[in-house]
Structure 1
Amino acid sequence: MATLLLVGAGVIAVVVEAGSDSSYGPAARSGPAGRTIDAPATVAGYHLITGEAAVGLSARVPGATPERYWFYTDTPDGTRPSLVFNASTTQWDPKLARENATHSLSWGLTNFFAGAKIEDPQDVDAGPLGGAMQCGHQIGRGAVVCRWGDASTVGSVAVLGITDIHQAGAIALQFRSAAEH
């Protein structure tokens, strides 16, 4: 009986400790809600692809998704993407709003990276907007993908041709800071 009580006390301590860690609480409690996303024209030396080229690239995005996609090139007036930026808000996506109300930021990041086949995602600086951000290598694609989440937005930046996690994280943070309001 004494062993059972000690084990029970240990489980309660773990549950209380886990429950007090913000990464285990609902994402909706992770910061300000009601933020919006706008695609910036230029960030970190990358330029938004517009016009027919953007329409053609957008047509390649699979299926109907509430996330919006924007393609960027590292040369002015270029049409070949070197970075893909996508994002969603709880205003655009009722499913994201429900998930944020019941699941943690960690849960959202883990599911994203598993589905996107990202190797060994690592925590990187989410910046002053808060929430959480991780970056990892996309298997077989030659890209580093960074994903952030907060109370009302999710977004990712896939940087082609860069293999350094922290360099890609710095670029993703610049995109997030320029796009999320």
Structure 2
Amino acid sequence: MAQIIKAPLAGVLEIFPRIFEDQRGYFFESYRADWLQSEGVDHGWVQDNQSYSQKGTVRGLHFQRGEFAQAKLVRVIQGKVLDVIVDLRYGSPTFGEIYSTVLDATRNNLMYVPTGFAHGFSVLEDSIFAYKCSNYYNKESEGGIIWNDPALDIDWQIAEPITSEKDATWPTLEEFKTSERGL
């Protein structure tokens, strides 16, 4: 059975699957529905995504709004990333708080991110990142918080981040709060 750790933000889980190693290599179950069901989470995952990013890249902080909101189950297939989430659930006692963990292909750990969170990651080693989504991507429902918001003060552990033009245009958390009042 996998070890499941509850993060300080309600609903967020870090999962450490049991890894079987021998002289040939290793084997592990990278996903089992009963892991999440044991924590009261039951999604019919509808979309799997995979990306490759070079060391020094920062992606995020992204989310989907309304009926297209997505829960995610994220992991690294190769490499290592600092995975970061921000609670955007209006009325949540942890609204605006961040949580981060290192997802590492040598530990094969996963993080479950419920709906209502902005998600991003910084690439500590060239990485292949994979995630399951509970809903389909919808461009019109896409949103974000700027990755370098001084109020969030996220230590991305990257000296000179490589970012996209789009990720530089998202609002700060304060601008988000006044325009949308949370997810």
Report if TM-score (shorter chain) is over 0.5.
no
TM-score, normalising length: structure 1: 0.29
Query: Greater strand share, 1 or 2?
Result: 2
Query: Greater helix share, 1 or 2?
Result: 1
TM-score, normalising length: structure 2: 0.29
Structure label with greater radius of gyration:
1
- Higher relative contact order (Cα pairs below 8 Å, separated by 6+ residues): 2
